[in-house]
């Protein structure tokens, strides 16, 4: 258990004015919510950002992009605080000066996972809230997370899934959103990526396909009736070398192994190793757990209107 500077605690009873209306609509609505921080943010328009706990740089970058668009449109971001896409979205909205709500599968005063400690601390410090269905001090239990996921969906007008495999816990959140008439947005991925099988499946079943930044902004505007503040394109992680650019564009499309990169660059194995090393050192690509290489988060963000440097500049100004 960890105590932070903002230790305002609330117990919101079902049926009270403070109890969120869409949680009340759930067929299994909890009798009470345990909240730390500011309970009023639970009534503000919100976008849930969730996804794989073992997200690739692609899934992380998609979640960060969604969080930044939400922040610039004045929309709260809700997540489960889990590893991967959840933490990426939560940290990004806070970095942009926005508001985050974390819904936990344990007590609101229990840090789980441990890697979310800084995220939860900043959530409270920046005027957000931590929510739980369980009483103070309750430790995480596996069966509690599907219930938690339904509350995430109920607190959000739409759910954005940055990356998800099959099977995936994100499906329970998506199902609850649809039950409430809320929209599900999903980022498509490579048909060869196991981490995108879930999102691709959801899109095939009718989820809104977020094919690019523009389609995400259009969806946010349509759902929330608000516009994102205009952003100018900033220089990001990129390269002017034609061979490196060809390799980077291929890796943005799909991760590759070192020998495939060497063939694409029309060089031998040693030349491929040197090329990969140069791209890794400069932060353009990174190695995935399965040994393949993919475009880094910075390189992916450089494809958007704000770019990596733009994100850093916003953080300094905030």
Confidence of residue 237 (pLDDT cuts 50, 70, 90): low
Q: Is the pLDDT of residue 171 over 90?
A: yes
Which residues make Cβ contacts (< 8 Å) with residue 303, sequence separation at least 6?
236, 252
The average pLDDT across 145-157 equals: 96
Backbone phi and psi for residue 41, each to the nearest 5 degrees, phi listed first: -70, -15
pLDDT recorded at residue 317: 34
In sequence order, the β-bridge partners of residue 32 are: 13
Beta strands in the chain (DSSP E): 9-13, 32-37, 46-50, 76-79, 100-104, 129-132, 158-161, 183-186, 208-209, 285-287, 293-295
Task: State the sign of the Cα–Cα–Cα–Cα dihedral 150, 155, 156, 157.
Answer: positive
Contact between 76 and 100 under an 8 Å Cβ cutoff? The reply is yes
Closest to 47 in 3D by CA, of 204, 226, 206 = 226
Specify burial of residue 266 (Cβ count, 10 A radius: 0-12, 13-18, 19+): exposed
Tens digits of residue pLDDT in 265-318: 999 988 999 899 889 988 899 998 889 999 888 888 887 776 644 444 334 333
């Amino acid at each position: 258990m960890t105590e932070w500077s903002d230790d305002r605690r609330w117990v919101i009873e079902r049926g009270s004015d403070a109890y969120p209306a869409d949680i009340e609509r759930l067929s299994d609505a909890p009798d009470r919510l345990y909240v730390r921080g500011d309970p009023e943010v639970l009534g503000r328009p919100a976008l849930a950002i969730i996804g794989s706990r073992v997200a690739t740089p692609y899934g992380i970058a998609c979640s960060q992009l969604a969080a930044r668009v939400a922040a610039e449109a004045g929309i709260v971001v809700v997540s489960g605080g889990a590893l991967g896409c959840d933490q990426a979205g939560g940290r990004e909205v806070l970095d942009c000066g926005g508001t985050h709500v974390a819904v936990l599968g344990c007590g609101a005063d229990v840090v789980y996972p441990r890697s979310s400690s800084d995220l939860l601390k900043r959530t409270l410090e920046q005027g957000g809230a931590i929510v739980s269905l369980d009483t103070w001090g309750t430790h995480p239990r596996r069966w509690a997370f599907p219930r938690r996921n339904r509350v995430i969906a109920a607190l959000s007008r739409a759910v954005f899934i940055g990356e998800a495999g099959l099977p995936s816990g994100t499906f329970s959140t998506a199902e609850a959103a649809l039950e409430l008439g809320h929209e599900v947005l999903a980022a498509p991925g490579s048909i060869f990526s196991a981490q995108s099988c879930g999102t691709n499946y959801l899109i095939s079943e009718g989820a809104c396909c977020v094919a690019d930044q523009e389609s995400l902004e259009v969806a946010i505007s349509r759902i929330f009736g608000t516009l994102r503040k205009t952003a100018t394109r900033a220089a990001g992680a990129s390269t002017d070398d034609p061979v490196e650019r060809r390799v980077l564009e291929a890796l943005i499309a799909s991760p590759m192994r070192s020998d495939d990169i060497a063939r694409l660059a029309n060089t031998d194995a040693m030349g491929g190793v040197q090329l990969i090393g140069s791209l890794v050192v400069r932060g353009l690509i990174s190695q995935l757990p399965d040994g393949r290489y993919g475009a880094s988060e910075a390189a992916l963000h450089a494809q958007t209107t704000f770019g990596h440097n733009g994100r850093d500049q916003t953080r300094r100004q905030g």
